[in-house]
Amino acid sequence: MTIAIGIVGCAGRMGRMLLKEVLATDGCVLSGGTEPPGQAVGKDLGLLVGGDALGVAVTEDPVALFSASDAVIDFTIPAATRIHAAAAEQTGTAYVVGTTGLSDEDQAGVNAAAKNAAVVQAANFSIGVNLLFALTKQVAATLDADYDVDILEMHHRHKVDAPSGTALELGKAAASGRNVSLEDVARYAREGQIGARPSGEIGFATLRGGGVIGDHTVLFANEVERLELTHKAGSREIYAGGAVRSALWLQDQKSGLYGMADVLGLN
């Protein structure tokens, strides 16, 4: 069976990578791609990624794309994801969401879409990073609060949200391992005379610079030893591959909200 996959935000860096991944994946065809008015609209999707013309042009109508697709992949921005989630809810089309930095209102739109469509949402679609989530939870459950936990992340200078969605998910994994809420123990920044570190705190450090695709390290440290779990992304291909894998997996699922742990069988 051939699966028709659409890409919203198809002209961006991640969007183009997703286009290439769909074209390179057996059993997949591109159903189309969208961009806001004036941004690559009318361009052929094949030419957009440096290949031969496909006879499929970039459009600006998300609802039409969802209607013409078996699945749609969304790595855009929160304002756009609100529109795309509404289209998924309207059409019942399988929906893969990789947008980070969503507000509670944005997330409510994704949750509403999952009532009528099968949705995979993840802060990170890398297989390695999702294994890191699982390891972080396991280590946090094993080591007591004498071990301080800090999450260090670095991304390219163009990333607009901080900490990264992946860093926040790592924090949630550590908090879950300790049976606490991240909101109760998180420290997102340190500056000035802040006093001694409270026991059980989960700290974050954010770096931005250059073209770094995504580095994440979880540090567990007590008075005598330090354990570091690290993942470094070498190419956005790892995210695109996981997203297309999710789109294929969704074809056999009922409506509902799923994560990459479900796709990978880690739950």
Q: What CA–CA distances, in Å, run from 252 to 4, 25, 228, 248?
A: 14, 18, 37, 8
Are 228 and 241 found together in one domain?
no
Are 15 and 107 found together in one domain?
yes
Checking if the pLDDT of 26 tops 90, the result is yes
d(CA 194, CA 244): 45
In DSSP terms, which residues pair with 232 in a beta bridge?
Answer: 215
State the CATH number of the domain containing residue 135. 3.30.360.10
Are 16 and 121 found together in one domain?
yes
What pLDDT score was predicted for residue 100? 87
State both tokens at 40.
């690559």
- Return contacts of 206-210, CB within 8 angstroms, 24+ apart: 206/153, 206/154, 206/162, 206/163, 206/164, 206/167, 207/152, 207/153, 207/154, 207/155, 208/154, 208/155, 208/156, 208/157, 208/159, 208/162, 209/154, 209/156, 209/157, 210/156, 210/157
User: For residue range 115-169, what is the model confidence (pLDDT) as tens digits?
Assistant: 999 999 998 899 999 999 999 999 999 999 999 999 999 999 999 889 998 999 9
Are 143 and 14 found together in one domain?
no
Checking if the pLDDT of 210 tops 80, the result is yes
Checking if the pLDDT of 267 tops 80, the result is no
Are 95 and 215 found together in one domain?
no
What pLDDT score was predicted for residue 123? 85
Are 120 and 242 found together in one domain?
yes
Coil vs helix vs strand at 189: coil
Residue 84 designated active-site: no
Are 11 and 111 found together in one domain?
yes
| Catalytic residue selected from 43, 84, 115, 155 | 155
**Cα Rg for the chain, rounded, in angstroms?**
19
- When divided into structural domains, the chain yields a total of 2
What pLDDT score was predicted for residue 1? 82
d(CA 60, CA 253): 28
Contact predicate 166/219, CB 8 Å: no
What pLDDT score was predicted for residue 164? 92
DSSP string, 91-147: H--EEEE---S--HHHHHHHHHHTTTSEEEE-S---HHHHHHHHHHHHHHHHS-TTS
Are 225 and 245 found together in one domain?
no
pLDDT level of residue 236 (50, 70, 90 thresholds): confident
Q: Which domain holds residue 187?
A: 127-232
Per-residue pLDDT, averaged over 230-234, amounts to 95
Residue 115 designated active-site: no
What pLDDT score was predicted for residue 158? 92
User: For residue range 50-102, what is the model confidence (pLDDT) as tens digits?
Assistant: 999 999 999 999 999 999 999 999 999 999 999 999 999 999 999 999 998 89
Are 121 and 133 found together in one domain?
no
Coil vs helix vs strand at 227: strand
User: For residue range 167-196, what is the model confidence (pLDDT) as tens digits?
Assistant: 999 999 999 999 999 999 999 999 999 999
DSSP H helices in the chain:
13-24, 45-48, 62-67, 78-91, 104-113, 127-142, 165-177, 182-185, 237-250, 260-263
State both tokens at 198.
């409270």
Are 201 and 104 found together in one domain?
no
State the CATH number of the domain containing residue 63. 3.40.50.720
Are 111 and 216 found together in one domain?
no
Dihedral sign from CA coordinates of 202, 262, 232, 209: negative
What pLDDT score was predicted for residue 157? 95
Are 223 and 243 found together in one domain?
no
